[in-house]
Amino acid sequence: QVIKCKAAVMWEANKPFSIEEVEVAPPKAHEVRIKIMATGICRSDDHVITGGLVMPFPIILGHEAAGVVESVGQGVTSIKPGDKVIPLFVPQCGECNSCLSTKGNLCNKNDVGSGTGFMPDGTTRFTCKGKAIHHFIGTSTFTEYTVVHESAVAKIDSAAPLEKVCLIGCGFSTGYGAAVQTAKVEPGSTCAIFGLGGVGLSVVMGCKAAGASRIIAVDINSDKFAKAKELGATDCVNPKDFKKPIHEVLIEMTGCGVDYSFEVIGRTETMAAALACCQYNYGVSVIVGVPPAAQKITFDPMLLFTGRTWKGSVFGGWKSKDSVPRLVSDYMKKKFVLDPLITHTLPFTKINEGFDLLRTGK
C-alpha cells in the first residue's frame, strides 16, 4: 500500500523546508520501508540547502535517524516488520571492492559522491503534488516514512532508545570513528580538532577513548568550549584570539605540532591549517567535514614530502551494516555517552527552527 504522511520537502535551494503531505510507495524487491521515530539535524543537510553539497531538487533531506520497520519488499530476509533499525547513508553491499577490502568502508553503491537522488534502481519512492521527489544519499529521514535499500539499513537492539541512538546514524559514528578507526589515535598522543559541532565533539570523545594525552579543541565560537572540556578536551583555542595563523599557535603549544589533527567543518582554509599543524614527518591529518563543491585547495607539497599523511574519512571508516549494531550495543553498555550531543528536542514540524539553531551555533 502507498502511505500518505508528512515530510519536510526542500523544493529549491536557500528556502525553508515545506511540511507537505507526501505519498511513499511500498518497498520493491530488496527494499525496506521504515517509520522514522527520531532524526538528527546534521550540517551536511544544510550544505545541500546552501549549495555546498550539490543534489537535485526537490528533495527530502535527512540521513541521521532511527525507526521501526513498517514493511519489507520481496527477498528481504535479514529484517522484518517491527524491527528497530538505523538507516545507513553509507550502504554495505558486501560485494564491491571497498566492502571486500579490510581497508575500506565506502561501498560503491553509495550516493554520496554521485548525488543522483534516486534509489539504486534509478527511481524514487516519494511523490508530492504529483511530482517525483528525490531521495537524499539513500536515506531521506525528514519524513514520517521512508524507503531504503536492504544494504542501507542496520537492525539494532530492540531496547535501544531511538531518540538517542539516531546519532549513531551519522554524527557520533563519523566523529568517534575518525579518531579510533581512521586515524587510529594511540595512547599518549596529541590531537587537535577543528570545529566543535556534534561531529567534532564526537572526535574529542574518540581521542579521549583512544588514550590521547592532549586534546586541543579549536573553534571560533568560545561557547562550545565548556562542553568540549566536559567530553575530554584538555585545551581550547579560539583562532580569533591570535594575530598569527592558527597552525603556528598549535605548533608553539606542542613544540613540534600535533600527532593527529581533524578538520570537522568542511572549509578549505581549515583543512590546510589542520594539515600544517600536525608533526612534519609522522603527523596525520584527517578531513571529516564535507568539502564544499567547486572549491579547490592549494598547498605547499613540501608539507607532504616530509612525511605527513593527509586522509579523508566517511562515516568514521566504519563498515556500516557490521558496525552500527555493535556501536548501539556499546552505547547500551555505557561505553560512551550521547546525551551531551543533544542540545534541543523539537517536534518534527519545527524543523526550520532546528536549522536556525544549527546555523547560529546553538
Residue tagged active-site, from 42, 207, 277, 278:
42
Q: How many CB atoms lie within 10 A of CB 1?
A: 9
The set of cell numbers assigned to 216 is 586541543
On the 0-12 / 13-18 / 19+ scale of CB atoms within 10 A, 323 is: buried
Residue tagged active-site, from 5, 18, 63, 158:
63
DSSP reduced 3-state for 225:
helix
Comparing CA positions, the residue from 147, 156, 169 lying closest to residue 44 is 169
Q: Round to the nearest angstrom and report the end-to-end CA distance of the chain.
A: 40
Whether 47 is catalytic is yes
- HSE (side-chain half, CA atoms, 13 Å) at 311: 18
Strand partners, 146: 34
Distance in angstroms (rounded) separating the CA atoms of residues 233 and 220: 15
Whether 323 is catalytic is no
118: Cα separation from own chain's centroid: 20
Residues listed for the chain = 362
Whether 207 is catalytic is no
Residue tagged active-site, from 30, 47, 158, 285:
47
Residue tagged active-site, from 170, 191, 207, 278:
170
Orientation of helix 43-50 relative to helix 351-359, angle to 10°: 90
Comparing CA positions, the residue from 261, 297, 254, 303 lying closest to residue 278 is 261
Whether 63 is catalytic is yes
Whether 256 is catalytic is no
Q: 166 vs 160, 177, 215, 287, 315, CA distance in Å?
A: 10, 16, 26, 23, 14
Q: Which residues are catalytic?
A: 42, 44, 47, 63, 170
